[in-house]
Amino acid sequence: MDELKNIAEKAKDIIITGHMRPDGDCIGACIAVYSYLHKFYPDKNIKVYLENVPERFSFLDPDRQIISNILPEWQPDLVMVFDSSSAAMLGEAVKLFRSAKDSVCIDHHISNKGYAKINFIDGTASSTCEILYGLISDTDIDSKMAEALYMGIAFDTGVFRYSNTSRKTMEIAGKLIEKGIPFWDNIDKCFYQRTYIQAQLLGRTLLTSMLLMDGKCIFAVITRRMMEFYGASIEDTVGIIDQLRVTKGVEVAILLHETGKQEYKVSMRSNKYVDVNKIATYFGGGGHKKAAGFMMGGSVHDVVNNITEHIEAQL
């Protein structure tokens, strides 16, 4: 139960970080472990660095402990990486990872090969926050830590709707609720409230979506022009892929987000049969069996055709 305290004990300068475009699980894990270590080691120099933290998760960091605009220049004794399946996913933080004397990775992606010196990887866990909970004594978890861990688990389970939700997941969530956190309000803020821009972008994307493979696959494209028209940010696209996934009769949902000329960030979700992680890994990405992503170049037609070939092979 005291693995993290023991690992951090000898380090004076510690950096906590995670993958690029951090999501709820990544942010929750980083904030929880910062609070945990700072409580036991208040004299250590502990910093959290994450790129582009979405505003909707700002309530997890009311004291603004997360550094996101300037990469710390000092060489840390220890870098702790959360929810990142590879060093390449760390973005600018990879410089800190490579220069650190020691490194720890805590992650639940099945594509993670264990790239840190010390690794806690469990591909069967619902989330990185679920693994992290198992590394901390429940008696050491205060309400702030519980709030961060709960939101991380809720994010990666789709508010406990995805098949990665286990009995263990629910039991942990129940124990975190007992810490007195306002879980209902936080879930509303993070998952169900939408700005007018987000609602319009969602409607436009759904309106232009298309069914393929006799209705077993649905795909949609968010172009740079659409983003500019609505004045939208990357955060405004959150949740669109999940709305595509719940279309009746659909097995796989594909969302292409144009990032450059003939360059797309591909997000995939499946419902029952297709392992989208295998497809993502083939194209240089990764993720989970039912949620994965990667980058691909070419026309929309080329990208979709390449992906559907792999979907058809599995079906």
97-140: per-residue pLDDT in tens? 998 999 999 999 888 889 999 999 999 999 999 999 999 989 99
The pLDDT of residue 56 is 85
Q: What is the pLDDT of residues 146-166, one digit of tens each?
A: 999 999 999 999 899 888 899
The pLDDT of residue 1 is 53
- Bridging pattern class, strands 217-222 and 210-212: antiparallel
CA separation for the pair 19, 215 (Å, rounded): 34
- Structure tokens that stand for 219 in this block: 């795909």
The pLDDT of residue 289 is 85
Domain ranges of the chain: 3-191, 196-314
Query: Do 121 and 108 form a contact (C-beta atoms < 8 A)?
Result: yes
CATH number of 3-191: 3.90.1640.10
N- to C-terminal Cα separation, the chain: 43
List of the chain residues with pLDDT < 70: 1
The pLDDT of residue 72 is 79
Amino acid found at 174: G
Assign domain 196-314 to a CATH class: alpha beta
* Close Cβ partners of 35 (under 8 Å, ≥ 6 residues apart): 142, 144, 145, 148
Burial track 196-213 (b if 16+ CB lie within 10 A, e otherwise): eebebbbebbeeebeebe
Q: How many CB atoms lie within 10 A of CB 275?
A: 16
DSSP letter string over 164-185?
A: T--HHHHHHHHHHHTTT--HHH
